[in-house]
Structure 1
Amino acid sequence: MKNIMIAGVVGLSALCATSVSAEYIDPVMEKKLVRVCEAIKSDSRIRLHVAIKRTGVNARHLAKGLVCNGHDPVTFAALNNANKTGTLMASRLNVDYQELLAKL
């Protein structure tokens, strides 16, 4: 019984000890994503549309997974007073931009 308990503890600790690693991002793709963040900050809907198009990623997926300076794209736009691009990104996520502004 003792051997079974020890084996269980060793097996469980091996599962829990896995390290968390960030996924590798291609430097070219990283540069494209940085341009999307810059476009959000610029408050230009056209510049944002072009930047998203160049990434080759769906705008909805981009809005869900992109992080700009530690914030999601909608919050990042709100913090930088970029209401046009914030509204655009909020519409992609089905989020009420005005309600988000009220919370900030």
Structure 2
Amino acid sequence: MKKIIIGSILTAGLFLAGSAQAKYIDKHTEANLVKICEAIQSDSKIKLHIAIRDSGINPKAVSKGLVCNGYDPVTFAIVSKAENTAKFMARMSNVNYEELLAKL
């Protein structure tokens, strides 16, 4: 019985340690993601394209997984009154820009 309890504790510890490591982002990647958010906010498609290219992250991954100030990229651009980058990010993530704008 002791072996089962100890085994369960060790297994739970490994799962908790693995989930803590999955949330780590190195400083370089974090800086690139911040640059992408700043480019979205700037309303310049050229700056946004350069920021995504320089980050080395797939544009589809950026459009689906990036969070800027708690918003997805399209919503963040709309809230920042960056219409050009909102439409650009909406096309990249296959989101209907007009429908999303109506909901806000």
Unaligned residue ranges in structure 2 (runs of 5+): none
- What are the within-5 Å matches in structure 2 for residues 27-66 of structure 1? 27-66=27-66
Question: In the comparison of the two structures, how many residue pairs are matched?
Answer: 97
- Per the alignment, residue 100 of structure 2 pairs with 100
In the alignment, the residues of structure 2 paired with residue 64 and residue 94 of structure 1 have an alpha-carbon distance, to the nearest angstrom, of: 10
Superposed displacement of residue 23, structure 1: 1.8
AA aligned opposite 2:95 = V
Larger Rg: 1
- The residue type equivalent to 1:32 in the other structure is N
CA distance in 2, matches of 1:99, 1:78: 12
**TM-score between both structures, scaled by the size of structure 1:** 0.81
Which consecutive unaligned segments of at least 5 residues does structure 1 have? Answer: none
1:5-27 residue CA offsets vs partner (Å, 9 max, x unmatched): xx7xxx5xx76xx5453521110
CA deviation vs aligned residue, 1:27-85 (integer Å, no higher than 9, x gap): 01100100000000000000000000001011111111100001110110011111100
Percent identity reads 51
Residues in 1 aligned to 2:25 and 2:88: alpha-carbon distance in whole angstroms: 25
Distance 2:52 2:99 in 1: 25
Question: TM-score by structure 2 length?
Answer: 0.81
Amino acid at match of 1:75: T
- Of Structure 1 and Structure 2, the greater helix share is in 2
Give the secondary-structure state (helix, strand or coil) at the position aligned to 1:29.
Answer: helix
CA RMSD of aligned residues (A): 2.2
